[in-house]
Amino acid sequence: MSNALDPHAAIVTEAGGLDQGGTLRTADGRPLKAALARSSRRARRRAFFLVLPLLLFVLLTFVLPIGQMLQRSVKNDGFSANMPQLSAWFAEHPRGTEPDEAAWAALAADLTAAAEARTVGVIGTRVNYDMPGTRSLFTSAGRKARRGIEPPYRAAMLEMDEKWGDPKLWSVMREASSAYTTNFYLAAVDRTRDDAGNIVQAPEQQRIYLTLFQRTFWLSLVITFTTFLLGFPIAHLLATLPMRKSNLLMILVLLPFWTSLLVRTTAWMVLLQQQGVVNDVLVWLGVIGNNQRLQMIFNQTGTIIAMTHILLPFMILPLYSVMRTINPSYVRAARSLGATSWTAFRRIYFPQTLPGLGAGALLVFILAVGYYITPALVGGSSGQLISNLIAMHMTQTLNWSMAAALASLLLAGVLILYWVYDRLVGIDNLKLG
Amino acid sequence: MNRLLILTTALCGLGFAAQAQNKEVNVVSWGGAYEKSQVEAYNIPFAKETGIKVNMIAADNPAAPLKAQIEAGNITGDVFDIEVSDAIRLCDEGALVEIDPASLPPAPDGTPAADDFIPGALRDCAVANIFWGTVIAYDKTKFPDGPPTTAADFFDTAKFPGQRGLPKSPKRTLYLALIADGVAPDQVYEVLDTPEGVDRAFAKLGTIKDSVVWWEAGAQPVQLLADGEVTMATGYNGRFFDAMVAEGKPFEIIWDGQFMDMDMFAIPKGSPNPEAAMAYLKFATDTQRLADQAKWIAYGPSRKSSAALVGLYQDGKTEMAPHMPTSDEHMKTAVMDDPEWWADHDAEMAERFNAWLAAN
């Protein structure tokens, strides 16, 4: 082995020589591989420290909340945590067992304990999600339970309210006795469980979520398409005009983009409502009579018009940035080789805009799927999207598990689309600028 | 190292000491003119009298941040202004501090608080401060041949043409459909309790579905009326009053079939300043303060003894008493909210309502 202090050895290594073992060594005699690994490890560590703040930020504000949302969509221990004895009875006895006196005793004991701890409302709220109208059954039983329940428990409970004997209630309690449940997902796809625990369709008047998911994806597609139709020529114009003129036009695209979403939505309300500017102009021109004013807002039309306008820049900007880089001589070459202008566009120009179009379409579509404020304000009854119902469960019914289940399904839908996009177009082809 | 430890401990100690001296209470309310009325009537005199600073925090619906804070186990608000159904539900879930009616200040004539509050205004864990009504208002200029006078007229688009503004909520529409269909105000919830009754309400709503503009925020019905987008709308009586009196809009309120609701103060368990919160709650719900609030907004005080003290509006000339949803005349045809029924059925009704809206 060569000594690091041996000047000959140093010279040999510096010249890139080999030692007797056949490994490359640095001037201080350590194997080159190890030294390289060490220094690159140090560089990696330094780089890691630089991205650490972002990593923490993403973890705290993105990964963690999404994880919590996913957990909340399947976990609701409102019943199981507060009704331990009855939950244990359910665990021991398979589905289909008639509740025996032990079950009724467990129910009475749990209710009494919950009444003392003031958690009856939590239990009632949980059961009420699966069987509307039962929350007050629990709270009123809780009030009576504070005065004590005497055996025989079955008779005592039935005397309180004969609804306690309802097999559907027991089926729902069995479902709720596990902290983890798929019921919120079932409800999110308009399904429910019958008395025997089988999955069936929800009553017709209550089926809403599937329709809304369909409508959300369909409207988002329509909006993506209209932004493409309107945005493509503009982006082309911007990319081909001389810089001075295109900058001026660019301002017209960016100015609304920088304006508050709420302001733009309200502006559309002013323009489109029945006593609004557009209708006034049409009446003034004599196109329609004063009593035939068009209903252009507070319905699906309003949602599509306003959202198309608001999302338009998200289509134009990526298209523009890609179109700028397209060399005009390709099209000229195609024309000189005999292609018509349509063929040159179809086979030469358009394919080169695809990365920008893909980016724009993906951006617009994903933004549209989660849109909330605009449909809430201008959507009326027929222009509501799924996000409006998620908001309703968050703020009005306070059923966060349901909101989480709906949001998870929406997230899953977007991820599937992203995957399909990756398979069809390839995510590498995505260009934002 | 040791020095550092001593220094941080001392600093922490200082922090705590500073907090103990700086007494404050965080009140979460609804914002807007309503919040202003609470600041003027409660917060300013409370701070003057006790030296406790009041931080007003606005929310769309304070029950949502309250629930979020309970779930997160980190309660930052001390007093929440919430609706009755939320107050009952959260109380049943053990999230709110129980309030003994005997600890509330009596009326000036010595009537104990338990007898002085309007029935329903005192709950196990919450005390109402105002009653507010959802009422029908119309644009006077749109009906020169005679104005509508009843809830049934609201549904009569042949006789009273024009679009209608309705809140996008089953709670604030189903009752109106039943009243218009001939159900007595005190029978509304009995009818709603049966599936046929619910069908009946939806069927009646269906008769005007095509001419309804649905609103979501309290400012919208006023705006819709002012724009001429609708000729009649239901909305919160305080908002309509403001438009009529403060802005001089040509609106008129129909007091037939008003829907009465309460806003209540509640204190969550584990709030950062429980004593100050309780002091604030007692102060704000005494006879004089509740009467003072009516000077700033047309919502009725929750105490009987406050009614006599209700004076003029802030403009100094409008008598407030006739505009109160709690006035004897208006109470005759009012539907009282049944929070227990809604705690049981609101999710079910919301889903059915939305499905009904979505079906064309």
Q: pLDDT tens digits for chain A (433 residues)?
A: 444 444 444 444 444 555 566 777 888 888 888 888 988 999 999 988 999 999 999 999 999 999 999 999 999 888 999 999 999 999 999 888 888 889 999 999 999 999 888 888 889 989 988 888 888 889 888 888 877 788 888 888 888 888 898 888 998 899 899 999 898 999 999 998 887 778 888 888 778 899 899 999 999 999 999 999 999 999 999 999 998 999 999 999 999 889 999 999 999 988 998 888 999 999 999 988 888 888 888 888 999 999 999 999 999 999 999 999 999 899 999 999 999 999 999 999 999 998 899 889 999 999 999 999 899 888 877 888 899 889 888 877 778 899 999 999 999 999 998 898 888 877 777 766 5
Q: Which residue of A has its CA nearest to B356?
A: A205
Q: Point out the residue among B90, B344, B351 whose CB comes nearest to the CB of A128.
A: B344
A236-240, B33-37, B195-199: the lowest-pLDDT one: B33-37
Residues of B numbered 151-210 whose beta carbons fall under 8 angstroms of chain A's beta carbons: which are they? 163, 168-169, 209
**Residue keyed to tokens 């159904």:** B85
Strand ranges inside A247-377, DSSP E: none
Whether the CB-CB separation of A13 and A26 falls below 8 Å is answered with: yes
Contact between chains at A274 and B229 (C-beta distance less than 8 A): yes
pLDDT value for B12: 46
Chain A nearest-CA residue for B198: A205
Q: Looking at the partner chain, which of A122, A215, A397 has a beta carbon nearest the beta carbon of B350? A: A397
pLDDT at B19: 47
Q: Does A128 touch chain B (CB under 8 A)?
A: yes
Query: How near does any CA of chain B get to the CA of A85, in Å?
Result: 19
Question: Are B227 and A389 a contacting pair at CB < 8 A?
Answer: no
- Residue A105: how many CA atoms within 13 Å on its side-chain side? 6
Whether residue B261 is predicted with pLDDT greater than 60 in this model: the reply is: yes
Mutant choice from A208, A277, A297 vs B, greatest count of B C-beta within 10 A: A208
The burial class, CB within 10 Å (0-12 / 13-18 / 19+), for B224 is buried
Would you call A208 and B351 a contact, using CB atoms and an 8 Å cutoff? yes
Residue A31 makes CB contacts below 8 A (sequence gap 6+) with: A23, A24, A25
Ramachandran region, residue A155 (left: φ > 0; alpha: ψ -120 to 50; beta: rest) = alpha
Sorting pLDDT into bands at 50, 70 and 90, what band is B343? confident
Residues above pLDDT 70, as percent of chain B: 94
Q: Would you call A149 exposed, middle or buried from its count of C-beta atoms within 10 A (0-12, 13-18, 19+)?
A: buried
| % of residues, chain B, pLDDT over 90 | 56
pLDDT value at residue A18: 59
Element (H, E) at A356: helix A350-369
Q: Is B355 on the interface with A (CB under 8 A)?
A: yes
Q: Does the N-terminal peptide bond of residue B274 adopt cis geometry, omega within 30 degrees of 0?
A: no
Which residues does chain A have within 8 Å of residue B214's beta carbon, measured at their own beta carbons? 298, 380-381
Angle between helix A153-160 and A135-145 (nearest 10): 120
Query: How close is the nearest chain B Cα to the Cα of A216, in Å?
Result: 12
Which of A42, A39, A45, A43 lies closest to A26 in space, CA to CA? A39
A395: contact with B, CB 8 A cutoff: yes
The per-residue pLDDT for A226 is 97
Residue B173 amino acid letter: T
Nearest one of A218, A216, A236 to A228, comparing CA atoms = A236
> For position B16, what pLDDT does the model report?
44
What backbone torsions phi and psi does residue B136 show, to the nearest 5 degrees? Answer: -90, 135
Amino acid B89: pLDDT? 85
Instruction: Give just the sign of the alpha carbon dihedral B337, B339, B345, B349.
Output: positive
Residue B274 to residues A19, A123, B19, B41, B90, Cα–Cα distance (Å): 78, 27, 14, 21, 17
Which residues from chain B sit within 8 angstroms of residue A405, using beta carbons? Answer: none
Which residues of chain B lie closer than 8 angstroms to A133, CB-CB? 344-345, 348
Question: Which chain B residues contact residue A274 at CB under 8 A?
Answer: 163, 229
Closest CA to A247 of A238, A237, A236, A257: A238
How confident is the model over B268-305, as pLDDT tens digits? Answer: 999 999 999 999 999 999 999 999 998 888 999 999 89
3-state secondary structure of A71: helix
> CB B358 to CB A384 under 8 A?
yes
Q: Which of B221, B102, B207 is nearest to B158 (CA)?
A: B207
Lowest mean pLDDT among A136-145, A346-355, B98-107, B185-194: A136-145
Name the residue with higher pLDDT: B188 or A5: B188
Residue A121 neighbours by CB distance under 10 Å: 25
Query: CB count, 10 Å around CB of B64?
Result: 19
A380 touching B (Cβ < 8 Å) = yes
- pLDDT tens for each residue of B40-89: 999 999 999 999 999 999 987 898 889 889 877 899 999 999 999 889 88
Q: Does B346 touch chain A (CB under 8 A)?
A: yes
pLDDT at B11 over 50: no
Looking at residue A20, its pLDDT comes to 62
Q: Which of A137, A139, A140 to mutate to test the interface with B (most CBs of B within 10 A)?
A: A139
pLDDT at A293: 85
A139: Cα within 13 Å, side-chain hemisphere? 22
Confidence at residue B313, expressed as pLDDT on a 0 to 100 scale: 85
Q: Which of B67, B347, B360 is nearest residue A382 as measured by Cβ atoms? A: B360
CA B74, CA B65: separation in Å to the nearest integer? 11
The DSSP H or E segment spanning A72 is helix A64-74
Which positions in chain A touch B86 (Cβ < 8 Å)? Answer: 398
pLDDT band at B2 (very low <50, low <70, confident <90, very high): low
* Gap from B142 CA to chain A (nearest CA, Å): 14
According to the model, what pLDDT value does residue A433 have? 59
How far does B351 lie from chain A, in Å, by closest CA? 6
Pairs across A and B, CB distance < 8 A: 104
> Given CB atoms, is A298 within the 8 Å cutoff of chain B?
yes
